[in-house]
């Protein structure tokens, strides 16, 4: 089995004006679709981060992909990473600093190769990762402070899965009460059994008040998470930790850096989760030594693919760390890959993050994947179990070319509604 075609297609799709510590989501989110076609005519697909630089990185390794057997992944990884970077922390840190290009590039191709191999071998991708330990994967509601509107050119009007959600998700939500309404609509539509609040947007007192309102609205058994995205200082994190103890399932990236997180961890009983201070294997030795984090929010898009993520899971078991899953704005191909990974990892015991309910557009045949009681059923079809809709791919690529965005920049977007706004960290 050999790869005879390799296609890298940048796309854009509607994204609502969601707020984060980094600013404001633009009307379009950018992603990249990777296709590898085998000499048997079977196509494997994957989805990763977007923008020109990501696509250029993927284009740059074309010669390493063409002619390769899709199961020869370690050799591909070795070819994409300079060999010096593979042997220890130093080299890896260098590359991690450079936008984490090698693990992201390799990971995107790896997922497409596993989809191709799975289809060719008649096996779902999770079976190539050790098999499934669960048939359903729980996801968490992802709540955002936001401005009015659904972003881009398309809302949820045509999405039958979003009945009850279509109207609410377009509303402005810039205080605790609006967030409770958003949470209720999201839970009613998708059945999520845990709630994550994207914080670091409003002053901490309002965000902590939002958590209290969510606790009141959903009762004592709904797991709650808050993610200030490192917008808070150590002192602010500790001050609000006192208010949040007993209220949270975990406290995600209240402050920045391994040292800062370790300072907070020492002085709160809240488990600290991260997708910011520990985002690569090179970060782990120091994070573990300092005690910066109790739960790693993995993400196969930047940790180096699905097999690397299974390896990360072993590290979490070995060092007694928890494991859950981070998400960016994404479509159904990423969601399917996340679901296969979560199916294969015994210690992925927290509901995974996903932006998916915020995306009305879809690029897979059959439209959006459907949550049931907040969970997705792990596909049993060969490969990822989803098929690329080429008409949608073409449309979203045209949208990419037309929208004018070439990389994500939440700061510039925020300046459009608040001139002079600057991304500072910590803000509070």
Cα–Cα distance measured from residue 208 to residue 216, given in angstroms and rounded to the nearest whole number: 12
Binding flag, residue 282, a copy of itself (CB under 8 A): yes
Integer Cα distance of 280 and 92 in angstroms: 9
Three-state secondary-structure class, residue 360? coil
**What residues between 132 and 151 interact with a copy of itself by CB under 8 A?**
132-133
Among 75, 148, 365, 398, binds a copy of itself (CB under 8 A): 75
> From start to end of 78-149, where are the E strands?
136-138, 141-144
Does 160 help bind a copy of itself (rule: CB under 8 A)? no
131 contributes a contact to a copy of itself by CB under 8 A: yes
If binding means CB under 8 A, how many residues of this protein chain bind a copy of itself?
42
The residue among 291, 289, 300 whose CA lies nearest residue 265 is 291
Pairing label, strands 322-325, 375-377: unpaired
**What is the footprint of a copy of itself within residues 306-325 (CB under 8 A)?**
307-308, 310-311, 314-315, 317-320
State yes or no: is 355 an active-site residue.
Answer: no
Check residue 88 for interaction with a copy of itself (CB under 8 A).
yes
- The verdict on whether 326 is a catalytic residue reads yes
Q: Can you name the residues that pair with 49 across neighbouring β-strands?
A: 31
CB of 127 to a copy of itself, least distance (A): 4
Rounded Cα–Cα distance for residues 19 and 427 (Å): 14
Max Cα distance, the chain (Å): 60
Least separation, in Å, of the C-beta of 255 and a copy of itself?
24
Near a copy of itself by CB under 8 A, which window of 31-39, 157-165, 343-351, 383-391?
A: 343-351
Q: Is 73 in the site for a copy of itself (CB under 8 A)?
A: yes
350 binds a copy of itself (CB under 8 A): no
Angle at 234 between CA 243 and CA 241, to 5 degrees: 15
Q: Is 65 in the site for a copy of itself (CB under 8 A)?
A: no
Write out the two tokens for 163: 């009945």
Residue among 109 and 405 whose Cβ is closer to a copy of itself:
109
Contact 33, 394 (CB under 8 A): no
Q: Kindly tell me the number of DSSP H helices and DSSP E strands found in the chain.
A: 16, 14
Is residue 281 near a copy of itself by the rule CB under 8 A? yes
Residues that bind a copy of itself (CB under 8 A): 69, 71-78, 86-89, 121, 123, 127-133, 281-282, 284-285, 288-289, 307-308, 310-311, 314-315, 317-320, 344-347
């Amino acid at each position: 089995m050999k790869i005879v075609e390799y296609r890298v297609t940048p796309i854009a799709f509607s994204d609502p004006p969601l707020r984060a510590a980094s600013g404001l989501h633009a009307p379009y989110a950018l992603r990249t679709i990777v296709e590898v076609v085998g000499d048997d005519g079977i196509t494997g697909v994957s989805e990763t981060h977007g923008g020109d630089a990501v696509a250029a990185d993927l284009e740059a390794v074309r010669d390493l992909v063409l002619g390769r057997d899709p199961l020869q992944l370690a050799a591909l990884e070795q070819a994409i990473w300079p060999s010096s970077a593979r042997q220890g922390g130093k080299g890896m840190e260098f590359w991690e600093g450079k936008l984490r290009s090698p693990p992201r590039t390799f990971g995107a191709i790896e997922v497409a190769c596993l989809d191709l191999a799975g289809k060719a071998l008649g096996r779902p991708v999770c079976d190539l990762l050790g098999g499934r330990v669960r048939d359903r994967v729980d996801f968490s509601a992802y709540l955002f402070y936001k401005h009015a509107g659904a972003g881009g050119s398309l809302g949820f009007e045509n999405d039958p899965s979003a009945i009850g959600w279509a109207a609410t998700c377009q509303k402005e939500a810039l205080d605790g009460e609006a967030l409770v309404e958003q949470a209720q609509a999201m839970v009613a539509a998708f059945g999520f059994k845990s709630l994550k609040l994207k914080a670091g947007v409003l002053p901490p007192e309002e965000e902590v008040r939002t958590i209290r309102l969510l606790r009141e609205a959903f009762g004592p058994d709904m797991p709650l998470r808050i993610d200030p995205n490192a917008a808070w200082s150590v002192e602010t994190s500790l001050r609000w930790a006192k208010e949040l103890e007993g209220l949270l399932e975990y406290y995600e990236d209240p402050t920045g850096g391994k040292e800062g997180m370790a300072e907070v961890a020492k002085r709160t009983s809240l488990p600290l989760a991260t997708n910011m201070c520990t985002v690569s294997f090179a970060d782990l030795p120091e994070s573990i030594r300092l005690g910066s984090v109790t739960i790693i929010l993995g993400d196969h898009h930047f940790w180096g693919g699905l097999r690397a993520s299974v390896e990360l899971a072993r590290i979490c078991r070995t060092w007694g760390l928890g494991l859950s899953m981070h998400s960016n704005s994404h479509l159904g191909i990423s969601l399917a890959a996340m679901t296969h990974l979560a199916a294969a990892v015994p210690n992925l015991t927290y509901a995974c993050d996903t932006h998916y309910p915020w995306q009305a557009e879809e690029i897979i045949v059959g439209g959006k994947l459907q949550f049931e009681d907040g969970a997705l059923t792990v596909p049993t079809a060969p490969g990822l179990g989803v098929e690329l809709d080429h008409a949608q791919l073409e449309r979203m690529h045209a949208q990419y070319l037309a929208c004018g965005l070439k990389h994500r920049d939440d700061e510039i977007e925020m300046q459009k509604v608040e001139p002079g706004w600057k991304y500072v960290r910590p803000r509070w």
